[in-house]
Amino acid sequence: MNRIAIVKTGSTLPHLASRRGDFEEWILSGMGLPSDRVIVLDAQNGPRLPEPDRFSGVIVTGSHALVSDHHPWSERTADWLVRVVESEIPTLGICYGHQLLAYAMGGQVGDNPNGLEFGTVELDLAQEARDDTLLSGLQPGSVVHVSHLQSVLRLPSGARRLASSAMEANQAFVVGPRAWGVQFHPEFDAEVVTTYIDHFRETLQRQGQDPDQLIAACRETPQSHSLLRRFAAIAS
């Protein structure tokens, strides 16, 4: 049986990783799969990414890198993602992965003119989300964890917007039959997102945001977290 590939594009904060593990571990836990059903591929430091048809699904993690910096490893991963989408392999890009998927398919990524978005926010689901294979499990008013410096400013041609939020026009989209990008973090819990808010405290304050208020508003997001199990079922 083919495994799901988690394409690791970066690591979480070192002090958080030492206590809680890294992005790929949170994703694996959220999917509820045994470790032998998943393979982790290091996009930054590992060998060339294998042929896409070896996998039943692909998840691209978040990263502290910026898509707009066009690192060679990121550009190679973007080219590989085009082949994954064309092969109609179920794909989920999370945060950086969401942005990289959009960029790979012809969209535009850059700084969000509305500023940084951190904390727990409410999704505004588009009509199309109700019938979407992945996002139909979310209910109106679902909340999600967010922590990102850049955004998808323009969706790829043919992509369909599935969700937005007060500060983010493109919280989720689908391109092709089975490739999704979510700007939010279904693998985060409240402790993780509050740690990120605290880490970026000074940056948020310079933008006129109140980190303590953002932290006070954080809460768990079970519906968002369930997307990982739903994706695992799709990929299986």
In degrees and rounded to multiples of 5, residue 127 shows phi and psi of -55, -40
Q: Distance between CA atoms of 93 and 98, rounded to whole angstroms?
A: 4
Catalytic-residue membership of 218: no
Q: Distance between CA atoms of 154 and 27, rounded to whole angstroms?
A: 27
Catalytic-residue membership of 185: yes
Which of 95, 145, 218, 225 is catalytic? The answer is: 95
Which of 117, 148, 187, 225 is catalytic? The answer is: 187
Token pair, residue 203, equals 């940056």
Catalytic-residue membership of 187: yes
Token pair, residue 232, equals 């695992």
Q: Identify the three-state secondary structure at position 217.
A: coil
In 67-132 the beta strands, taken as DSSP E runs, fall at: 91-94, 108-111, 117-122, 124-125
Which of 98, 145, 148, 185 is catalytic? The answer is: 185
Q: Identify the three-state secondary structure at position 68.
A: helix
- What is the set of active-site residues? 95, 185, 187
